[in-house]
Amino acid sequence: MNTLEDIYRSSVSFAKGLGVTFKNLLRKPVTLQYPDERPVLPAGFRGIPALLTEKTTGKARCTACGICARTCPLGIIHIDSVLGPDKKRILNDYTLEAGRCMVCNLCVEACPFDSLVMAKDYELADYDPDRLVFHKDKLLQLGQPYEHGDPFYVEPAPKVAAAEAKPAGEAKPSTGGEGE
């Protein structure tokens, strides 16, 4: 009796397992052929803090107030500034130790002048940690696509069709960023 019961249970279990297998056989694959194919990044995706440019002056919006540097829990933002003749701070350099950033977004939230944005760049890995120390020019460059200042900006869909039209190895990335 026990043997028959065991056979019955094993058969049911086997059939259930096969059911899961066949169900997934019919599903569309979710795997992307990275890096030729890129994911559409969701709204609010955090890559790395970047500086925004003031449209009217073409310079960094940052006023060198230092609030972001004081807010960062890791102390990885460094502001280099001088006092101008009108007693306003002039930003010389803005340094971010990007390799240590935990993308918490606190610096962006703390900035009273909307000078920072979380850029969506996620391909910044480097073997040399020194190359992950980004200065003002690099951070302004990373902030260029986000001049609208919308933190919920949604990345345009990657042009997969165009990438597929090219021979393998020539496909150009459509999202993400570049390391230095």
When asked if residue 83 is in the footprint of ligand SF4 (CB under 6 A), the reply is no
Question: Do 61 and 74 contact (CB within 8 A), yes or no?
Answer: no
Point out which residues pair with 69 in neighbouring strands.
none
Contacts of 76 (CB under 8 A, 6+ apart): 96, 97, 98, 100, 101
Stretch that binds ligand SF4, among 4-12, 36-44, 61-69, 159-167 (CB under 6 A): 61-69
Binding mask 105-144 for ligand SF4 (x = CB under 6 A): xxx--xx-x-xx----------------------------
Q: Residue 103 or 160: which CB sits closer to ligand SF4?
A: 103
Single residue of 50, 62, 119, 124 touching ligand SF4 by CB under 6 A: 62
Which CB, 8 or 113, lies closer to ligand SF4? Answer: 113
CA distances from 28 to 16, 23, 31, 32, 57 (A): 21, 11, 9, 11, 49
